[in-house]
Structure 1
Amino acid sequence: METLANLESFVRSAECGSFSAAARRLGLTPAAISRNVAQLEANLGVRLFQRSTRRLTLTEAGERFLGNVGGGLESIQAAIADLTSSAGAPAGVLRLSAAPAFGRDFLLPLMPGFLARYPAVTPEWHFDNRQVELIADGFDAAIGGGIELSPGVVARELAPAHLVLVAAPGYLVGRPVPKRPEQLAEFDQLAMRSTQSGKVRSWMLQGPKGERMPLEQRPRMLVNDPQALCSSALLGLGVALLAVPDVLEHLESGALVRLLPDWHVDAGPISLYFASQKLLPAKTRAFVDHLVEHAREQQWPRRFDARGRGLI
């Protein structure tokens, strides 16, 4: 009879495509994962993976074996997770991913209450503007937008991800207030170059009566970080398109002014990503419930919505 550790090492390695990624997910060393898989192969008398220095691929026998054992392993883990979450208190390291600005301004403030409520949980925050692969990168949960829903991952919407056009009041002195998106060509435009593609992303503005118009950008200056883009706008260097959470504080204080208040970009939802609910350990379930409750109490859906709400 094969051990659960050997089977889990095999299944996670197949899902992640490498022993290293599987090790991060399971909290083991790559050597331990490799050893478990090698033991499984020796016991079965077949090679399950083709190994190279660059990638790990399943053999034909490996694919067939994964199809036969994958569902059974998930069922066993679901039973263990259900028992643990019911009988045990949330505990352990909780690996979380979020964008730096959103994490600092809206997620870290949750931590005093969360840690007081769950003292045995150790949150490990990773703040990065890139989109993570939740399972392959070994995260328990991630907060952001546009993360691919790979098998075993679910998303829970927290608020809309709307972007608005902003500028510093000093920059607007002596300049006419734009009434239409095409008039933005008369202003210095600040833009962000994607760190992943190296391109300046094109955006579609949505108007008050269902109008849609591409945002024509001829950047006066480019950066590769949303906080740098916000800082550039605060310095009076021009007009920037930024997510509502990144500029909400500055709009409320008057440090930035919203342009074209009837227009915005809809970038989809801000979501909380985590593994299938049936497999959630107690620590992850505790965080999911805590964050969803906080978002509701702080009225994130209303505060982050740029449509017809008089956002300054």
Structure 2
Amino acid sequence: METLNSIECFVRSAEAGSFSEAARRLGLTSAAVGKNVAKLEASLGVRLFQRSTRSLTLTEAGERFLVEVGDGLSVIQNAVANLASADGQPAGTLKISMGAAFGRHFIVPLLPAFLQRFPAITPDWHFDNRRVDLIAEGYDAAIGGGFELPDGIVARTLAPAHGVLVAAPDYFTDREPPRSPADLPHYDGILIRSPQIGRVRPWPLRNRANEQMPVALRARMTMSDPDAACEATRLGMGIALTSMPNALPYLESGRLIRVLPDWYVEMGSVSIYFAAQKLLPAKTRAFVDFVVEHFQRERLAKRFSAI
């Protein structure tokens, strides 16, 4: 097991390009990572890294070794984790990433039933509106969408990701509601900055006839958090374009209404994604199956649809 830990330190250091970054990802000190790599080099009788005060680069032997052990490391770790599961049941710390509002409304409520079924699993859930690097950052899975999957990652689709225009019910008390997307430039917009690209995406609106029109709201404010944008919209500050998962709690409670309900934005899909492995850890498989089953049973895909 000590050799396995040393190999993991080597692989993560090669991926990160530094002992300090590998240490951060592994939850160790930089000195501990360097010591483990040195032990591995001593046992192999070869130097794996060229070290300097500014850089850490693989030697030719290190490059060969990384190719040979990189894929096998996760397989061995998962086999050990599955074998060590409590009484044959999924066990261990489950590190998951998801959007803050999405997780609070649709995933956190699953905790009681999930932990009753899998009591040996310890959730370590991160709520952040950004795309994470599953492998480099050590996540077991993540829930999100609106981007292409990188190599080595697979996904199971949960629901469509549609965007809708929303406003407070009393926003149109003293103004006429828009009759078509062409009217939108006359209204204040509460814009949401994409965490993937760092700016507001120029999404096109479409209707059931597949006609397309731009979202041309007059920019009044921009926010990085969709739930904050929904709250500002609820306060009557303007019209927002947000995803159905973020808008749904507000729409179902009547705090917001749809604007131009015949029009929506196609944003891809909401998916749960994880590393493509022959031997997926039991804890990850349990979580993925549990969430997929819940979405199917509660027909959340239909509730998330704007059509």
Q: Which residue of 2 aligns with 1:8?
A: 8
Matched, 1:145 2:142: no
Which whole-Å CA distance do the structure 2 matches of 1:132 and 1:86 have between them? 29
Question: Aligned AA for 1:224?
Answer: S
**Secondary structure at the residue paired with 2:263?**
coil
Which whole-Å CA distance do the structure 1 matches of 2:217 and 2:193 have between them? 12
Matches within 5 A, 1:59-98: 59-74=59-74, 76-77=76-77, 79-80=79-80, 83=83, 88-98=88-98
Q: Which residue of 2 aligns with 1:301?
A: 301
Q: Which residue of 2 aligns with 1:310?
A: none
Which whole-Å CA distance do the structure 2 matches of 1:268 and 1:56 have between them? 39
Uncovered stretches (5+) of structure 2, i.e. residues with no partner: none
Q: Which moved more, 1:36-45 or 1:194-203?
A: 194-203
Q: Which residue of 2 aligns with 1:173?
A: 173
Question: Aligned AA for 1:251?
Answer: L
Q: 1:36 to 1:84 in 2, by over 3 A?
A: same
Q: Which residue of 1 aligns with 2:113?
A: 113
Question: Aligned AA for 1:271?
Answer: S
Q: Which residue of 2 aligns with 1:213?
A: 213
- Normalising to structure 2: TM-score of the pair? 0.88
Q: 1:59 to 1:98 in 2, by over 3 A?
A: same
Structure 1 residue 239, shift from structure 2 partner: 0.6
Deviations 1:170-219 (A, max 9, x none): 11124333232111112111112346655332212122211222212331
Identity %: 60
Structure 1 residue 25, shift from structure 2 partner: 5.6
- Normalising to structure 1: TM-score of the pair? 0.87
Q: Which moved more, 1:20-29 or 1:267-276?
A: 20-29
Q: Which residue of 2 aligns with 1:58?
A: 58
Which whole-Å CA distance do the structure 1 matches of 2:274 and 2:52 have between them? 30
**Secondary structure at the residue paired with 1:230?**
helix
Which whole-Å CA distance do the structure 2 matches of 1:23 and 1:146 have between them? 31
Q: Which residue of 2 aligns with 1:104?
A: 104
Q: Which residue of 1 aligns with 2:43?
A: 43
Q: 1:18 to 1:147 in 2, by over 3 A?
A: farther
Structure 1 residue 242, shift from structure 2 partner: 0.9
Q: Which moved more, 1:171-180 or 1:283-292?
A: 171-180
Q: Which moved more, 1:43-52 or 1:254-263?
A: 43-52
Q: Which residue of 2 aligns with 1:251?
A: 251
Structure 1 residue 110, shift from structure 2 partner: 0.4
Deviations 1:73-108 (A, max 9, x none): 455446546655697221221111111100100000
Which whole-Å CA distance do the structure 2 matches of 1:279 and 1:47 have between them? 31
Structure 1 residue 277, shift from structure 2 partner: 4.0
Q: 1:54 to 1:208 in 2, by over 3 A?
A: farther
Q: Which moved more, 1:86-95 or 1:218-227?
A: 86-95
Which whole-Å CA distance do the structure 2 matches of 1:229 and 1:144 have between them? 18
Q: Which moved more, 1:171-180 or 1:290-299?
A: 171-180
Which whole-Å CA distance do the structure 2 matches of 1:97 and 1:239 have between them? 29
Q: CA contact under 8 A between 1:16 and 1:22: conserved in structure 2?
A: yes
Deviations 1:211-233 (A, max 9, x none): 22221233122222211110111
Uncovered stretches (5+) of structure 1, i.e. residues with no partner: 308-312
